[in-house]
Each structure stands twice: as structure tokens, then as C-alpha cells.
Amino acid sequence: MRRAVALSVAITVVGGTLAACGAGDADTGADGKVELSIGTFTEFGYEDLLVEYQRLHPDITIKHNKTGQGGPYHQQLFTKLGANRGLEDVVAVEEGHLSDVLAKSRLFNDLAEIGPKDVTADRWLDWKYKAGTDKNGALIGYGTDVGPLAMCYRKDLFEAAGLPSDPEAVKPLFATWESYFAAGDQYVAGTGKAWFDSDAQIFNAMHNQLPTGFFTTADSLDIESNRDIRANWDAVTAAGARGQSAKLTAFSNEWNSGFKSAAFATKTCPAWMLGVIKGQAGPENAGKWAVTAAFPGGGGNWGGSYLTVPKQSAHPREAAELAAWLTAPEQQVKAFVKTGNFPSQVEALSAPELITATDAYFGGVESGKLFAEQAGKVAEPQYKGPGDGRIQETVTTPALQAVEQGTSPAEGWQRVVDGAKKIAG
Amino acid sequence: MAADTRQSPAPAPVREPGRPPRQVWRDRLTHWDYKASPYLYIAPFFLVFAVVGLFPLLYTGYLSLFDRDLLDDSPTFVGLGNYLDLVGDEQFWKSLVNTLSIFLLSTVPQITIAVGLAALLNTRLRAPTGWRISVLLPYVASLVALGIIFANLFGPQYGLVNGVLETLGLDRVDWQADRFSSHAAIAVMVNWRWTGYNALIVLAAMQAIPKDLHEAATVDGAGAFRRFRSITLPLLRPTLIFVVVTSTIGGLQVFTEPKLFDAMPGSNNGGAANQFQTVTLYMYQSAFETQQLGYASAIAWVLFLVIIVIALVNFLLTRRLADSGGDR
């Protein structure tokens, strides 16, 4: 993890110019082969699949550009979009950056138009498919994986605080946000320790359950007029002020250490978070963490990606075909087995490999079945306007961090409003 | 062959009447060669500079007159609008103050320590090369690796520095949240990397100082400190000016250190309240995160001017300082 960070930062710092030269335009090679390129970040589990695809299609060769971390990867993506060159034929886009891509959907191919005709909406979970279409109904991305949310918690700490600790028995604690914060108060009173990792992590989960994000469906900034956003802000900052937050910025070194030192007792837990917890809490804490099929306020999704084909691709049809093949249920199940990325395809969710998947670290829980159940609880996708993801990342998250560092919630909120206005332009 | 003719004695050939015209042509060539060749020899640098230095500089200036989004095909001309926005932009002023604060906290100790270190390295040591290489080691290490290590050391809750402070009975410092502390932590990173490098440059200049000056002063009864102040320092003047100007330029462009220092990985915010966001970091954020290329270009130009002004001031100050040392 830490090495991945170092690597990707090095790429941002040094490689800004280098990268512009790499990722050359796909071309038909001298031997008549079509050269395709695909850009992904972190781990998509595609290495073996790409080899298989080239074996099945001898006339196609594929170049795979992998970036360590999502942030720099997407910055590059938008720079190359602006330069109108340098992007791969198939480009992975993470859900958090999707709103910016959909706002510029004219720079991407409509996959419903150029993709294989047998690939239809019913391949994916309904909300996943819908989130990948733009306002005019053009399909911009084929869904790859999803991050359905469940709750992870420290069994031993729950017991110490006199809370139920069995995965079934804790469900009522995670029924609504009210019950979640109430249990938090009980936990803080019992142990004097924090309930969750940071305000921002809870705020994001609450915010993503709203029908619309920071913008109305007409793309006007809604941050002051949408009372629900403010209500979530108040609830989270109040809980933080009562000692429920460990004040650890997500994915920071200190946050990583927080898993080992049991700095917090619960964690909003998309499927891929199990791997993060295992890695950071380490083998000495095996069996102490548990995961349960409940999430405050219903369900939710955090993360997951799409494969897109930008207009600048020289071989859009071949690229769409590759993307369609990679996002087919069979392939995504293989990727799941390899990386744990949770598939977004309906058929994949009942695949035997997934249904029988268990996790010994989390007390032998049937994790595949559990997250498939959580994926079914996700409501309609939230409408995200242009800049929605950026507001979450560069405005609300740092503002909540500032509140944890001593800024008053009212002043923090003012920063949110100002910052959001600046991004909305 | 052009070089051969150039090496011939300097006086321009006098044209004699009645010589064949070919000879005149040759004379003229020789004359041009003599006049133009030096410029041709240094031209590659200026050509490359024009392409990768001057052109981007001017184009950035041109771009700063437009309201241009990264993915915008039709930028609108706004004249000096970006610059006017910049004057009223609180975040810009904050980042400028941060930059100056980090710059002062890094450059001043850095050069002072570098001169002292050079003086120590200039004394008789066993294995002098070993010592000299070891002060250069931090410079050789990867900046990104350093950034990650230091960000870890200065972690507010589990960092080593706070652990040591606590064992010494001192209060913990929130290196991330507190504005001045974060500047100090970043300055430590900068100093760690650059002090040894500057020390070696100063050391090279020190060794070029003639020994007889020191000997004469010793005979006149001057102590080590007096000799350092009245002989070494004034004679180091050109080198000190160079070191001060280059570290001014570098110090005002600090980017990687504050970027890696942020607890949120990959963040360009420079802390939750931009408390350690530098101008370059803000520029980068404006260009590639909020995607306002015109505005980012305006920031780049203002930073450019600020650096020129401060480098000039430093140049004059250093000259003055080293001068007065010589008068005594």
C-alpha cells in the first residue's frame, strides 16, 4: 500500500510530461494486427484475462497501462481528455470521477451504439447500469465492479463496551443513522474510545444516500437549498464533538496505524474494505473484526468502476468489444476470485465462486453472499452534477477534517458553501 | 575546419587591392566566422531554452488572459480578469504567506548551517571524502521517499517526533493542523535535503581561498573566528550569492514536500484549511483539479514575478552583507 502511494506520487510529480509521451495512439501494426490499449488503476485483476482475450482474438494485441493510485490516474485522464490525445482505447473510470466524465460525455463513445448488440442493460444491477448513462441516455461506461456497503466492527471492543457482538445481534445498531450514533454514544461512554474513523467517512456515506448530490438534476448548485445535506453535516459534526470520531483521515498513514491500535470500533465497509482491514490490522488481529449485512439508512455503494471508450480511440469498435468481454459476468467472476473486486453483473452475483466465498479473517463469514445481499439494497443511483466528486474530495472532506482539528462546525459549513460555489463556478 | 580559422591570430585580415575575388569571399567568411561562431556555439542552449523555457513562459502569459477550462474548446478572453480575481482570492494570499514562511524557515537555517558545515569540513579530518559524501547523501535519496518518511515521523498521533517529545515531558504538537508547526515540519524536510548540497558548494569555494591570506592574518594575530569573518566570508561572496539565489528560486517553488506531507494521500489541499498549501501546490490544484487553466496560468506568472523580485532583493542583500564584512 505504502509503496503504491510512493509510486503513484512519483508518477504525478515526475511523470506529468513523460506520461504524455507514453500511451501512444493505437495503430494497426505492420503485421495487420490491431493494437489496443487499456488503462486501469490499482488492481482490476485483468492480467490473465487480457492474455486470454488475445488468445481468442489472434488479430488483436493489447497493451495494459496500470497506474498505482486512483487520484493521479484520473488527473491524467482529464488532462489527456483536454489534450485530445494520449488516452488508451479502453479507459477505466472510477465511480467518484464519473460525474465529471458524464458532464463531458461528448468526448466518449455511446457504447449502446458501437458496442456488441447482445450486451444489454439486464447484464448489470439496475442502479449500476443507470449510473453509467448520461443525461441523453447514452451509455458511457460498462460497469465492472461495485462496492456495496456493509458494516465492519470490532467484536472484542463491542463486548468490552457491553454491546451485542454477534453479527445478527448487532444489526439493530446499524438500522438507521440515529441508532448508529446512539450506539456510538454508548460505546464512547463505555470505553472512552472513538466509534468511527473520521467525520468525513460517515458524512460521505450519509450524503451518498440522498437522491441528488450537491447539484439539482438541472445542474444548479444545491448545497444551501438542500436541507438534507446540512442535516447530515450537523448530525456528523455533533457525533464527532461527542467523541465518536478518531479524527483519522482516511487512507493516511495514521489511519492505517489506527486499525492496528484499535483506534475506532466500526468502519463503513464496502466489499473491498475487507482487504484493507486485513492488510492494516494484520494477522495478530484475525478474528477480532467482523462484518454484518446491515448498513444505516438502508444500503449504499462506495467505489466500483466503469470501462469507457473515448472518442479519441482509433479503434472504437474493437475497444468496445474488448470492454464488453471484460465486463461479462464470467470474466468479472474471475477478477473477483483474483482480487476480490465485487462484480456488478446480476448473473455473477449468483455464481458459485461468489456464493461460496468465505473470509476466515472475519470469523469465516460468507462474504460473497453477504455483499450480494447488500448490493440488492442499493436504491436508485444518486444524481451527481458536474464537479460533485470534486466537491466531496476537495471541499467537504477537508472541511470536516478542519472541524476535527478545532474549527467550529458553523465555520466549517461556511467553508463548504464557499468552496462548492468556487468549484461550481 | 571553422575552428581552425578561428584559432588564427585575431586581427581582421586587411583587404589588399588586386586580389582575386575568391580571396575576398574567403576573407568575408573568415570575418563572419570570427564574429558569429561564438554565438553559434552557444545557440543550442538558447534554442532549447526558447522551446522548453521561453515559449511555455510566454504561452502561459497568453493563457492567463483567458477563462479556459481544461476540457473547454472555446476559451473566452477576459483580459486581466484572472489577475484581478487573484488579488481578491483569499486562498492565494494564504498560499503566498505559507510559501514565504516555509521559504524563510528553510533558506535561512539552511545557508547558515551550510556555511558552518563547510567550515567544519574544511578543517583537517580523517577520510575527508567520506565526510563530504555523507553530507550529500540526503540529496541523493529520492525526494518522494524522504517525503513519505518525514510525513510519517511528523504524524500527529503515532509519529516518532511526537513520541520523543512526549518522553521528554513536552506537549505533543499537531504537525498537520497547526499552521506554523506544519511549516516548520516541511522546512525540516527541505533543509534535510539541501543543506549538505549547499555545504559542498560553499566548501569548494572555501578551498579556492589562497592559504597565504590566512597565514598573513594569523601572523598579524587574527583568531580563527576573525579570519573566518574577515577573509573567508568576503571571498565567498560570489558563491554565497549563487547559493542564495538558487535556494530562493527552489524555496519559493516548494511542491513535493507539502504535497506528500498532507495526511490525505494525493491531496493538493495543503491541509484541511490550506494551512500549508504553497503557491505551486495551489497552481497545480487550480490547473489539474479544479481544471481552470487560465487562472492557474495567472498564478504561475505572479509566482514568477515574486521569485524575480525576491531573488533580486536577496542578491542585493547578500552583496551588501559580504561587502561590509570585507571593509572591516
Judged by a CB distance cut-off of 8 A, whether residue A407 touches chain B is yes
Strands B66-67, B76-77: pairing kind: antiparallel
The minimal CB distance from B148 to the residues A2, A251, A257 is found for A2
Residue B6 reports pLDDT greater than 50:
no
**Nearest-angstrom CA–CA distance, A194 and A240:** 9
CA dihedral A394, A397, A403, A404 (to 10 degrees): -130
Q: How large is the average pLDDT for residues A292-296?
A: 96
Q: What is the pLDDT of residue B322?
A: 62
Grid cell digits, residue A318: 474493437
**Nearest-angstrom CA–CA distance, B265 and A393:** 11
B142 neighbourhood in chain A, CB within 8 Å: 10
Task: With residue B220 as reference, give the H or E element that holds it.
Answer: none
- A407–B273: do the CB atoms touch at under 8 Å? yes
Query: Is the alpha carbon torsion for A381, A383, A389, A393 positive or negative?
Result: negative
Residue B288 reports pLDDT greater than 90:
no
Interface test with A, best of B66, B78, B253, B267 (most A CBs within 10 A): B267
Distance from CA of B177 to the nearest CA of A (A): 6
Helix, coil or strand: residue A336? helix
The minimal CB distance from A253 to the residues B152, B266, B268 is found for B152
| Beta carbons of B231 and B214 less than 8 angstroms apart | yes
Which residues touch A126 (CB under 8 Å, ≥6 apart)? none
Cβ neighbours around A103 below 10 Å, total: 18
| Beta carbons of A379 and A127 less than 8 angstroms apart | yes
Grid cell digits, residue B254: 516548494
| Beta carbons of B86 and B299 less than 8 angstroms apart | yes
Say how far residue B119 (Cα) sits from the centre of its chain: 22
Q: Which 8-state DSSP code applies to residue B217?
A: H
Arch. (CATH architecture) of A149-300+360-424: 3-Layer(aba) Sandwich (3.40)
End-to-end CA gap in chain A = 35
**Nearest-angstrom CA–CA distance, B191 and B207:** 24
Pick from A202, A206, A203: nearest CA to A268: A202
As for the ipTM of the complex, it is 0.82
**Nearest-angstrom CA–CA distance, A227 and B311:** 51
**Nearest-angstrom CA–CA distance, B36 and B41:** 9
Strands A342-343, A145-146: pairing kind: antiparallel
**pLDDT 10s digits, A305-315:** 999 999 999 99
Cβ neighbours around B166 below 10 Å, total: 11
**Fold for domain A2-146+303-355?**
D-Maltodextrin-Binding Protein; domain 2 (3.40.190)
Q: What is the pLDDT of residue B21?
A: 64
Residue B280 reports pLDDT greater than 80:
yes
**pLDDT 10s digits, A181-193:** 999 999 999 999 9
* Cα–Cα distance list, B132 to A218, B122, B123 (Å): 65, 10, 12
- A250–B264: do the CB atoms touch at under 8 Å? yes
Residue A20 reports pLDDT greater than 50:
no
Residue A43 reports pLDDT greater than 70:
yes
Judged by a CB distance cut-off of 8 A, whether residue A10 touches chain B is yes
Delimit the CATH 3.40.190.10 region(s) of chain A: 2-146+303-355, 149-300+360-424
* Cα–Cα distance list, B168 to B152, B164, B176, B181 (Å): 20, 6, 21, 18
**pLDDT 10s digits, B210-268:** 989 989 999 998 888 888 888 888 899 889 988 988 888 889 999 999 999 998 888 89
| Beta carbons of A88 and A39 less than 8 angstroms apart | yes
Task: With residue B77 as reference, give the H or E element that holds it.
Answer: strand B76-77
Grid cell digits, residue A331: 470474466
Interface test with B, best of A199, A249, A415 (most B CBs within 10 A): A249
Q: How large is the average pLDDT for residues A145-152?
A: 95
Helix spans in A192-226 (H): 199-207
Which residues touch A300 (CB under 8 Å, ≥6 apart)? A148, A149, A205, A208, A209, A268, A378
Size of interface A-B (CB pairs under 8 A): 105
Judged by a CB distance cut-off of 8 A, whether residue B176 touches chain A is yes
Grid cell digits, residue A130: 443507470
**Fold for domain B81-146+179-327?**
MetI-like fold (1.10.3720)
